[in-house]
Every structure is written in C-alpha cells, then in structure tokens.
Amino acid sequence: MIPDIRNFDELAQRFRWNIPSRYNIGVDVTDKWARLEPQRPAIIEAQAGGAVRTITFGGLSESSNRLANALRARGVSRGDRVGILLPQCHQVTVAHAAVYKLGAIAVPLALLFGDDALAYRLNDSGARALIGTGSGARKAQALRHQAPALETIVSIDGGDGGILDFDKLIADASPEFTAVDTTPDDPAMMIYTSGTTGNPKGALHGHRVLLGHLPGIQVPHEFFPQPGDLMWTPADWAWAGGLLNAMLPSLHFGVPVVARAAEKFDPDAALDLMARLRVRNAFFPPTALRMLRTVENPRAKYKLTLRTLGSAGEALGVEPYEWAKRELGLPINEYYGQTECNLVLGSCAALGVSKAGFIGKAMPGHTVAILRADGTVCAPDELGQIAVRRPDPVMFLEYWNRPEATREKFVGDWMTTGDQGVMDDEGYVRFVGRDDDVITSSGYRIGPGEIEDCLLRHPAIANAAVVGKKDSLRTEIVKAFVVLRPGFSASDALVADIQSFVREKLAAYEYPREIAFVEALPLTTSGKVIRRLLRA
C-alpha cells in the first residue's frame, strides 16, 4: 500500500488511502492468495516436540468455506456475533475468515479469561456461536445460562454432550461458498478493550480495519514485505496486537505466520523458536521484551535471522531499546494505537525515524495531535492527551450498545485516547501514561513510564511498575512494585540503593518513596500492567 519512497516526510506527504467500495477480510486473507498460489505457505504451526506443520492458503480458503457453510446451516447469518476462544493455531484463521465471509462479526476471546470475564463478553456481545478448545467450549457451555443467545458451541478437540466437533463439521460441509458482499464499513470484528479501568467495552470495527493497519505495519517493519519474510508474535491472537499487528496483515501480504500455542511466555523458548524457524519479523509487547533481557548473550546463544522487531502495547522506554541494539543487533521500531484506533504512530529506523524514549511519528495516512482539555492543540513539548482525527480507516465504528461512551470518546473530529503524551517540534510523540496513571506529587505531574524505564536499568530489577499512592501531605507519592532478577533478594539496603539510583538519574521528586517486592506484576491478557490493582 505504501509507495517505495525512502524519505519519511515525502512518503507521508504522498501517501493516499485506496479503500475499495467492496471489501471482505476473509476473502482477502485466504481466497485472494488461494487463487494465485494455492500451495503458498500461510500458517507455520510449531507443535509440541519440535514438529512443524504447514497450512497453505488453499487449505485456509477451503476450510473457511466449509466452516462458513456449517455455521450458516446452524443459523449464523449476517451481523451475528461469533466468539473465537482459541490459542495460536491455524483454526483461529479459519474461524475468522469463515465469520467474515458470512458477514458475521468475530469476537476474539482470550483463553486466560475466568468465568466472569468470559460470561460478561458472551452476554454483552450476544454471541450466537462459539468456537473454542475442548476446555474453553466446556467452560462456555457451563455459562450458557448467563449468555442466553449462545446456541452453537464448537470444539477443535472433538465433540461431546452438545458440543460440536470442529473437524467433523468441516469434513461434512461443502468446500464451495460465496462470501457475503460487504462494504469496508460493514461490521467485521468486535474486540473488547483490555479493561485496565472499568468494565471492558466492545470496540466494533468494519472490514476496513485491516486495510487501515497496513501502513502501520509496512513502515515499522521497514517496507514489509520483503523476500523471505516470516512473521511471529508471542502475543495472543485474541488481542488486537496479535491479530492486527501480526497475523491478519501478514496474510494480506501473503507472508506466512508462525503459530505457537503457549500458556506462558518463556524467553529462551521464544529465542529458540525464532532461530529454529528463521523468523524474520517479530512483534513483541514490551513486557515480553523485558523478559528477553534476562537471557545472557542471546546472539551468541541463538542464531537469529531477524530483519525487523516491533513493539507496542505499553511504553517501551529507553533501556529495552538500547538493549536490543546492543544484544540483538537491530533497533526496536515502536508503534502505538488502541483497540479503538490502532497503529497510528510508529518508528522506522531505516528511514531515520527512531528516537529512544519516543514512540515515533504519525504513520502515513493518520493525523495525530496532542490536545489540551479544551480540545485545542498543544504547543511542542506541552503535556496533553494523544488524539487521532477522523475519518480514519483504522478507527472503530462504535462501542457495542454504548452510544454515550462512543460520543464521549470524541472531541469534535478528534478521537481521544485517554493517554497522556507530548509531541516535540520534530513531530515525535512520547507516551507519558494513561490519564488516570499520571501521578500528582507536590505539584508535579509525573508519568510512570520514565520512572519504570529508569528502574529497569538497575541491575537487580527484571520488571517494575509505578503508581501513585494517596498521601495527605503530597497528594500522592510514587510507589514502585518491583520484580527482582534471579540471585537478588529483597532487603532494606536494596530499597535504599534503588531509591538512590532513581534519585540520581531522574529527579528528587520522582524517586519511589515506597517499594514493594513482588513475584509478578498483574497483567491483562494482552500483557499490559493492570495499575488499578496495584493502586488498590
């Protein structure tokens, strides 16, 4: 989609959207390539024990047609919601493509959801069908009384007691299916916000959302695709990051995607996988990158062939950025967005757009500004709220059944993000923190990201999160929750050393007056720190 122009400012100036009048994601990511090259690899499944299974675009196209026919026979039609409760596997892509071809709405769901979280989303979305693992399907079946619209439950691990067998459904259905004729604005998927604050909301997206992501993939992944590219992310494909920052855009371009089902992120296993399968492009949430830092001499230990490395989901910070250049030999191209409007800011070292501590600049096709509370645009280096101007093809249609929340998201034509940031005079944006994460202490406004990044430079600290704690004298004080590296133990002396370290590198008002040592930080399913739990 982007022209081959190797100057960022000229590229951004000359970029134009080309959104067709009729468009369907399912047809795009399966049928398009199946017609051209049916044997072209699409999904590379890394299975237990080191085995690898390759699923072709032809296979994805046929299987998704069969599943669409099977779901239609069970009453699923245009506009119906279908839950997808699966780990990384080829069936995720089959399910998504089938739902899109039906004109229905895919609702990605994370396997880590407990009963309450799953029941809330099934009920709120009014999901009519669900496709899951055996355990996920059984969990959904037990929650049917809380999700009265749920009629059909399918398991990829076999049928049992009212749960239908995925493989049998496909085998018994016709391989011929004519996709519903959809426009770019017709609803395609509904991704629930991560819920770091309050109940999650269903962000409804049209089919155009995939096309809207393409510049934000192509630029940070340095003119993606290139010959030999192969994409992998440890991020759950139920999250916008895994689904729209990796899997679907790669398939749009005909680039194969590695699928690896893993309940827990293991940094050595991740590096081994990338070396073994010769992964060329990777997307890592910052939390996972911080865990990679615990592996000593990764380039000597693993023969990596990475061409590009992207990160998004939280502020990356300077320390992981410098670590990757030093230890992996390539820069991290950071990018930014939200479930509601993703990949609107980014970096591209190949074009000279890369600055430690900053996300990057507005990606081609997007207009991003920093706004004051009254909706006016901030001056350079003035703290305000990150906002994106509509219309924008990557922007959500609405919050599901929440018209008031949808209206509140906008100030005029600006979609507000709830994220505080600053833009310098070159157009680089630095993320400061969520509106409710910014700490007010003794009159100072303190973003947690800078302190967390500083803490990560301390040799004893593997991970850290910072919140404000109410204080009668200072309004709030800075409190840090710290995960230690192996070989270090909590002590008063270590607390004092960490406090001194931050005070010397940042400022006296920014150092954590309290430090709590924890085994792990509370994370959303997308790997973001749930600071409200730390504040509580």
Average confidence (pLDDT) over 300-304: 94
Average confidence (pLDDT) over 154-169: 96
pLDDT at 433 over 80: no
Q: What are 265-297's pLDDT values in tens digits? A: 899 999 999 999 999 999 998 888 888 988 999
Cβ neighbour number for residue 48 with a 10 Å cutoff: 7
Average confidence (pLDDT) over 173-188: 98
- Tell which phi-psi region holds residue 297, choosing left (phi > 0), alpha (psi between -120 and 50) or beta: left
Ranges of beta strands (E only) in 87-136 are 105-108, 129-132
pLDDT at 5 over 60: yes
- Domains of the chain in sequence order: 24-206 (3.40.50.12780), 436-535 (3.30.300.30)
Task: Output the pLDDT for position 526.
Answer: 62
Task: Output the pLDDT for position 482.
Answer: 97
Instruction: Please report which confidence band the pLDDT of residue 116 belongs to, taking 50, 70 and 90 as the band edges.
Output: confident
Instruction: Please report which confidence band the pLDDT of residue 113 belongs to, taking 50, 70 and 90 as the band edges.
Output: confident
Burial annotation 362-392 (CB, 10 A radius, 16+ → b, else e): bbbbbebbbbeeeeeebeeeeebbbbbbeeb
Burial annotation 295-311 (CB, 10 A radius, 16+ → b, else e): eeebeeebebebbbbbb
Q: What would the two tokens of residue 249 be?
A: 């855009």
Residue 524: which of 516, 514, 534 has the closest Cα?
534
CA–CA separation, 10 and 139 (whole Å): 52
Instruction: Please report which confidence band the pLDDT of residue 443 belongs to, taking 50, 70 and 90 as the band edges.
Output: low
For residue 441, the surrounding DSSP H or E stretch is: strand 439-441
Q: What would the two tokens of residue 371 be?
A: 């706004």
Burial annotation 468-495 (CB, 10 A radius, 16+ → b, else e): bbeeeebebbbbbbbbbeeeeeeeeebb
Task: Output the pLDDT for position 435.
Answer: 72
Summary mean pLDDT of the chain: 93
Task: Output the pLDDT for position 226.
Answer: 97
Average confidence (pLDDT) over 520-524: 85
Q: What are the residue ranges of helices labelled H in 311-370?
A: 318-323
Average confidence (pLDDT) over 252-262: 95
Q: What are 84-110's pLDDT values in tens digits? A: 999 999 999 999 999 999 999 999 998
Average confidence (pLDDT) over 67-84: 98
Task: Output the pLDDT for position 198.
Answer: 57
Instruction: Please report which confidence band the pLDDT of residue 425 belongs to, taking 50, 70 and 90 as the band edges.
Output: very high
Instruction: Give Cα 213 distance to the centre of its chain.
Output: 12
Burial class (CB in 10 A: 0-12, 13-18, 19+), 206: buried
Residue 394: which of 326, 344, 468, 347 has the closest Cα?
344
Three-class SS state of 456? helix
Cβ atoms 384, 368 nearer than 8 A: no
Task: Output the pLDDT for position 161.
Answer: 87
**Phi (first) and psi of residue 304, to 5 degrees:** -85, 145
Side-chain half-sphere exposure of 11, counting CA atoms within 13 A = 23
Which is higher by pLDDT, 435 or 142? 142
pLDDT at 333 over 70: yes
Q: What are 13-65's pLDDT values in tens digits? A: 999 999 999 999 999 999 999 999 999 999 999 988 889 999 999 999 999 99
Cβ neighbour number for residue 169 with a 10 Å cutoff: 20
CA–CA separation, 452 and 431 (whole Å): 13
Task: Output the pLDDT for position 476.
Answer: 86
Query: Strand pairing of 164-165 and 152-155?
Result: parallel
Instruction: Please report which confidence band the pLDDT of residue 508 belongs to, taking 50, 70 and 90 as the band edges.
Output: confident
**Phi (first) and psi of residue 323, to 5 degrees:** -60, -45
Residue at token pair 């969520």? 434
Task: Output the pLDDT for position 449.
Answer: 81
Q: Percentage of the chain surpassing pLDDT 70?
A: 98
pLDDT at 506 over 90: no
Task: Output the pLDDT for position 177.
Answer: 98
pLDDT at 195 over 60: no
pLDDT at 431 over 70: yes
Cβ atoms 409, 396 nearer than 8 A: no
